[in-house]
Amino acid sequence: MNHEKVIILPCSEPDKAIEIYKELIYNEPDILFNVLGTSDKVEKLIELGSKIAAGFTNPAAYVVWITDPSVVKPVLDNLFKSNSIENIEDNVAFMLSITDRVVDVITIEDKIDLVKIFKSFQLALNDN
Amino acid sequence: MRTLIFILFLFLFLFICHPLFCQTIWNFKESRTNGVIKEYKENEINFHIDISSQIFIEFNRANLREVIVNKTKNNSGQLNSLLSKIKSLQALSETGLAELPLLSEKLKDLNNENLSVNEKQQIIKNAFSNISFITLQIISAAEKDEEFYSLLNSALEEAVTSSENSYGLQYLKVFEATRNYAESLKEKMEDLISAEGIYIQMAASLYGQNGNIVPIHFDGFDDFKPADFYDPYELKLALADEQLKELEKLRFISDSINKKGLPAVVNNFGKNLNDSIIVPAITGLENTFDSLKLQLLSLLDKNFQLPELNRRTNDLYDMVINTETNAREFRAKYSNPVSGSDAEVQSQLIKDINYLLKGIIAVKNQTVNLIAYVNMQLVNADGNLRRTLLEFENYVNTKTSEKLEQGKKIFDCLAFEITGYRTIHDINSLTVQFTEEVKKLDIGDLPESTVMDIKNYAGYRQEGDNIILEMRAGKNNKDPFSLGKQYFTLMKMQPHIVTNTGLVFTNQIGSGNDGKYLASPGVSTVFKFGTNGKSTFYRKFLDFGIGVNLTTLNFSEENSIEVGAAIVGTAFSDYFQTGWGYNLTQGQFYWLIGFRIPFLSKEFDL
């Protein structure tokens, strides 16, 4: 895991978490790979995602770890709603493009590997 | 953005199609006897090689496989889909690798802190649109192929665990893995080709100047017995039969010149040339055009009378109508009632007029029928005319093509006789002879390379001979198809000695003979310098030489045979010679100018 590329939202402080998350999404054209919850699969996603993100400095890419998604639910609802995506609960990760669109979602059933994560990054960059 | 994607697709399409049009199935390396190695990388139609060389042929198996699959009809779906997958992956990897170096340039403005978020987003989108699109295509292909997917995972693992991990390195590893995987698929294609029952053959034919065609043996490719060894560079002072015949003719020409004078002989030569080549050619053309003229005349003769007939029948009709009108007026004039004997006369007159009118109306109806008939004939004649014109046009086209082809043939013959080399038009018409002795090989049995050993296997050959090499493939009992063809023209590129006959004009030095030149037949043996073969112009056209000339002289009427020896320099393939000599019999020096005369010993088959 590349710790420098992982941003852990402070879910114990909901207001601060929402503020940081919004700033991350809307203030810079970064590639954000968002990982939701806590599980072995989530850890693997963070590990692989941070490795790919480590290659991106300009433009920058980060793994945003949201340990308790309910804390930032309004923000997530807004993102998913605007992209017509339902059943947020089934997802363990999603990719936000540089224009803040949800371009890929990873569910609990998906096989996780570097190609899968790299594909997410490409979808974020191929933001037409 | 759509335009960009369209351009990218177009580029990919062209990239995929490109190899179909210019795939090289082999590369050639020439090894000459003096140790010089020359590589032929460009795909020229005709290579000029040394007459005693060995040509190393290295097969490009990957391209060969592709050409075979592309040209073999009714392949299995498996083979075609494998080929299409290989091409697609090749195109994607090559396009991606070409796009990669452009990324940093496209992103350089991103460091400008004054840019808004939107402006930065735009820069990133523009920079990554192509490369991310290509990468997504690759991943999409990998998702359907477990082995490829696994290779991509390993490639990415290698990139992300590297100390130099960057998006550039990640892309590079993905594109390289794609390219390598496409290469590995090509190996699999060979097994499929063999399973389809496709065979390949390779053969070469040597076309000599005397019209002989000799197969050249390739180890492992045929059962031909190699021709007897022949060294074209070996010094041969004895004259060939052909040269002896030339000398005989030159003796006759020189005697004529000495007796009648050069202008009369040149005039006679011109007349002979005129009679043997120019007049028959012109007469042939004249005959053709006479025949065309006759066809045209008969065509005109057949049809030109009909419009005249039409005009006359119309005139006749007009005349009948006028007569009818006159008769009606006449009848009207005499139809008023009269009394007495005049009434009888009038009654008889009216009867006569009515009878006449009846006759006129009958003639009118006949004329109308006649006009209808003539019109019908005209319509038919028009059809005939058009059909005949079409036939006439076809006839003209055929005759013109025949004459043009004949003209090209004459030109080829003349050029071959004068320069000693076939024209490209002539070379292109030569074909390789695939006889029973040429083996049918499985593609798996094709070696990586082979040698066309002209030096040891081609037998007797001369400068200007041509070799045609061809590889072809076939499937079951269907007609084989060509995979590649290469033409070679043999040249003497090493230093060598040439013996030529020629017409020599000698002038005694200090004889006080008023500069009178005497003609005689001569034989020159000259040394030719070697060439590197980079330019064929020197050997084909300039071709300087230096050597000795032997000729018979007649300086004094006392001696029946006088022999002269001279040092000569030659140019333009020995067509021009000049030198300084000594009459060995008379003990006198002389100047000489000599010329090689073409067409002395050859008959033209026109």
User: B574: helix, coil or strand?
Assistant: coil
Percentage of the residues of chain B whose pLDDT score is greater than 90: 35
Q: Tokens 């699959």 appear where?
A: B69
User: Tens digits of per-residue pLDDT, A24-50?
Assistant: 998 878 899 999 999 889 999 999 999
Quote the minimal CA–CA distance from B191 to chain A in Å.
30
| B156 contacts on A by Cβ (under 8 Å) | 52, 114-115, 118
Percentage of the residues of chain A whose pLDDT score is greater than 70: 91
Whole-number Å distance between alpha carbons of B477 and B74? 13
- Is residue B337 very low, low, confident or very high in pLDDT (cuts 50, 70, 90)? low
Mean pLDDT score, B81-94: 90
| B161 contacts on A by Cβ (under 8 Å) | 51
| B174 contacts on A by Cβ (under 8 Å) | 118
More confident residue, B192 or A12: A12
In terms of CA atoms, which chain B residue is nearest residue A119? B136
Cβ proximity of B201 and B474 under 8 Å:
yes
Q: Choose the weakest-confidence range: A64-68, B216-220, B419-423.
A: B419-423
B133 touches chain A (CB under 8 A): yes
In terms of CA atoms, which chain A residue is nearest residue B133? A126
CB contact under 8 A, A126 and B170: no
- Nearest CB partner across the interface for B136, out of A59, A114, A122: A122
Measured between its terminal Cα atoms, the distance across chain A in Å is 30
| A119 contacts on B by Cβ (under 8 Å) | 136, 139
Mean pLDDT score, B110-138: 88
Q: Tokens 């002389």 appear where?
A: B590
pLDDT for the residue B218: 95
CB contact under 8 A, B136 and A55: no
- Region class of B337: left (phi > 0), else alpha (psi between -120 and 50), else beta: beta
User: Tens digits of per-residue pLDDT, B30-81?
Assistant: 998 888 888 887 667 788 899 999 999 999 887 888 888 888 766 667 788 8
B132 touches chain A (CB under 8 A): yes
More confident residue, A17 or B384: A17
- Nearest CB partner across the interface for A115, out of B120, B129, B149: B149
Question: Over 80: is that where the pLDDT of B284 sits?
Answer: no
| B124 contacts on A by Cβ (under 8 Å) | 29, 59, 98, 125
Question: Over 70: is that where the pLDDT of A8 sits?
Answer: yes
| A96 contacts on B by Cβ (under 8 Å) | none
- Nearest Cα neighbor of B433 from B477, B476, B468 is B468
- Nearest CB partner across the interface for A55, out of B128, B135, B167: B167
Whole-number Å distance between alpha carbons of B40 and B30? 8
Quote the minimal CA–CA distance from A121 to chain B in Å.
9
| A98 contacts on B by Cβ (under 8 Å) | 121, 124-125
Quote the minimal CA–CA distance from B7 to chain A in Å.
16
| A51 contacts on B by Cβ (under 8 Å) | 160-161, 165
Question: Over 60: is that where the pLDDT of B102 sits?
Answer: yes
Mean pLDDT comparison of A124-128, B21-25, B197-201, B358-362, highest-scoring range: B197-201
Q: Choose the weakest-confidence range: A46-50, B242-246, B303-307, B475-479.
A: B303-307
Task: Choose, out of A119, A121, A123, the residue to mutate when testing the contact with B (most B CBs < 10 Å).
Answer: A119
Quote the minimal CA–CA distance from B166 to chain A in Å.
4
User: Tens digits of per-residue pLDDT, B503-544?
Assistant: 999 988 876 665 678 899 999 999 998 887 667 788 888 899
Question: Over 60: is that where the pLDDT of B212 sits?
Answer: yes
- Is residue B1 very low, low, confident or very high in pLDDT (cuts 50, 70, 90)? low
pLDDT for the residue B19: 44
| B121 contacts on A by Cβ (under 8 Å) | 29, 98-99
Q: What is the arrangement of strands in the sheet containing A31-36, beginning at the earlier edge strand?
A: A6-8, A61-66, A31-36, A91-96, A102-107
Cα angle at B223 between B217 and B229, to 5 degrees?
A: 40
CB contact under 8 A, A98 and B125: yes
DSSP H or E run through B506:
strand B496-508
Whole-number Å distance between alpha carbons of A29 and A59? 7
Q: Choose the weakest-confidence range: A56-60, B23-27, B301-305, B371-375.
A: B301-305
pLDDT for the residue B147: 94
Question: Over 60: is that where the pLDDT of B14 sits?
Answer: no
Residues 6+ apart with CB under 8 A from B74: none
* Mean pLDDT computed over every residue of chain B: 83
CB pairs under 8 A between A and B: 77
Quote the minimal CA–CA distance from A118 to chain B in Å.
8
Long-range contacts of B230-236 (CB under 8 A, 24+ apart): B230/B458, B230/B459, B230/B460, B230/B461, B231/B52, B232/B51, B232/B52, B232/B461, B232/B462, B232/B463, B232/B492, B232/B496, B233/B33, B233/B51, B233/B52, B233/B492, B233/B494, B233/B496, B235/B497, B236/B499
Question: Over 70: is that where the pLDDT of A65 sits?
Answer: yes
pLDDT for the residue B559: 64
| B170 contacts on A by Cβ (under 8 Å) | 52, 55, 118
pLDDT for the residue B17: 46
User: Tens digits of per-residue pLDDT, B481-505?
Assistant: 899 999 999 999 889 999 989 999 9
User: Tens digits of per-residue pLDDT, A78-110?
Assistant: 888 776 666 666 778 999 988 888 999 998 889
The token pair that represents B144 in the structure block: 């359907």
- Is residue B259 very low, low, confident or very high in pLDDT (cuts 50, 70, 90)? confident
Question: Over 50: is that where the pLDDT of B181 sits?
Answer: yes
pLDDT for the residue B604: 47
CA distances from B482 to B203, B222, B329, B388, B563 (A): 11, 17, 90, 42, 58
Quote the minimal CA–CA distance from A97 to chain B in Å.
10
CB contact under 8 A, B159 and A55: yes
Question: Over 90: is that where the pLDDT of B94 sits?
Answer: yes
pLDDT for the residue B18: 47
| A53 contacts on B by Cβ (under 8 Å) | none
Question: Over 70: is that where the pLDDT of A2 sits?
Answer: no
pLDDT for the residue A122: 95
A114 touches chain B (CB under 8 A): yes
Q: Choose the weakest-confidence range: A29-38, B16-25, B314-323.
A: B16-25
Give B526's DSSP letter.
E
More confident residue, A125 or B382: A125
User: Tens digits of per-residue pLDDT, B435-465?
Assistant: 999 999 988 889 999 999 999 999 999 999 9
More confident residue, B22 or A116: A116
CB contact under 8 A, A114 and B160: yes
Task: Choose, out of A122, A123, A127, A128, the residue to mutate when testing the contact with B (most B CBs < 10 Å).
Answer: A122
Quote the minimal CA–CA distance from B165 to chain A in Å.
5
Question: Over 60: is that where the pLDDT of B9 sits?
Answer: no
- Is residue B590 very low, low, confident or very high in pLDDT (cuts 50, 70, 90)? very high
Give B222's DSSP letter.
B
- Is residue B424 very low, low, confident or very high in pLDDT (cuts 50, 70, 90)? confident
Q: Which residues between 44 and 83 in chain A have a beta carbon less than 8 angstroms from any beta carbon of chain B?
A: 51-52, 54-59
Question: Over 70: is that where the pLDDT of B605 sits?
Answer: no
